[in-house]
Amino acid sequence: MPALELLRDPHYRGYWISLFISQMGTWMQAAAQAWLVIELTGSAERLGLVVALQFAPSLLFSLPAGVLADRLPRRTLLRLTQSSMALLALGMAALVATGTVTYGWVLLFATLYGLANVFDLPARQAFTVELAGRERYPGAIALNSFSFNVSRLVGPAVAGLLIARAGMGWAFAVNGLSFVPMLIFLVFVPVGRAAVGARGSWRAQIAEGLAYVRRTPEVLSAIVLIFWVGTFVLNFQTLIPAYARLVLGLDAEGYGGIMSAMGAGALVGAVGQALARNFHPRRIDLGVLILVAAHLLLALPLDAWEAAWVMALGGLGMVLTLVGTNTLIQTAVPDALRGRVISIYSLALLGSGPPGSYLTGWLMDALGGRAAAGVLALLAFAGWALVRLWAAQRASW
Convert the pLDDT of each residue in 69-85 to its tens digit: 777 788 889 999 999 99
Separation of alpha carbons 119 and 347, rounded Å: 11
If one compares 126 and 172, the residue with the highest pLDDT of the two is 172
Helix/strand/coil for 1 = coil
pLDDT value at position 200? 59
Write a three-state SS string for 77-104.
HHHHHHHHHHHHHHHHHHHHHCCCCCHH
Mean pLDDT across the stretch 214-218?
83
**pLDDT over 80 (residue 236):** yes
Separation of alpha carbons 50 and 348, rounded Å: 19
DSSP class of 216: -
**pLDDT over 50 (residue 194):** no
Least confident of 22-26, 241-245, 293-297: 241-245
Helix/strand/coil for 213 = helix
**pLDDT over 80 (residue 146):** no
Give 115's pLDDT tier (boundaries 50, 70, 90): very high
Separation of alpha carbons 273 and 283, rounded Å: 10
Give 131's pLDDT tier (boundaries 50, 70, 90): confident
Which domains are seen in the chain, by residue range? 2-187+201-396 (1.20.1250.20)
Q: How far is CA 10 from the centre of its chain?
A: 26
Mean pLDDT across the stretch 238-264?
84
Give 265's pLDDT tier (boundaries 50, 70, 90): confident
Mean pLDDT across the stretch 91-112?
94
Mean pLDDT across the stretch 13-42?
90
**pLDDT over 90 (residue 335):** no
Q: Do residues 97 and 167 lie in contact, with contact meaning Cβ atoms separated by under 8 Å? A: yes
Mean pLDDT across the stretch 131-141?
71
**pLDDT over 90 (residue 113):** yes
Least confident of 23-37, 273-287, 289-303: 273-287
pLDDT value at position 195? 42
Give 395's pLDDT tier (boundaries 50, 70, 90): low
Looking at mean pLDDT, say which of 134-148, 223-237, 326-340, 343-357 comes out highest: 223-237
Mean pLDDT across the stretch 45-55?
88
Looking at mean pLDDT, say which of 48-52, 360-364, 377-381 comes out highest: 377-381
Mean pLDDT across the stretch 14-21?
90
Give 277's pLDDT tier (boundaries 50, 70, 90): low
Mean pLDDT across the stretch 324-349?
78
**pLDDT over 60 (residue 2):** no
pLDDT value at position 344? 84
Give every CB contact of residue 218 below 8 A, 6+ residues apart in sequence. Answer: 281, 328, 332
Mean pLDDT across the stretch 94-99?
93
**pLDDT over 70 (residue 299):** yes
Least confident of 83-87, 231-235, 271-275: 271-275
Q: What percent of the chain has pLDDT over 70?
A: 90
Long-range Cβ contacts of 211-216 (<8 Å, 24+ apart): 212/333, 212/334, 212/337, 212/340, 212/341, 213/341, 213/344, 216/332
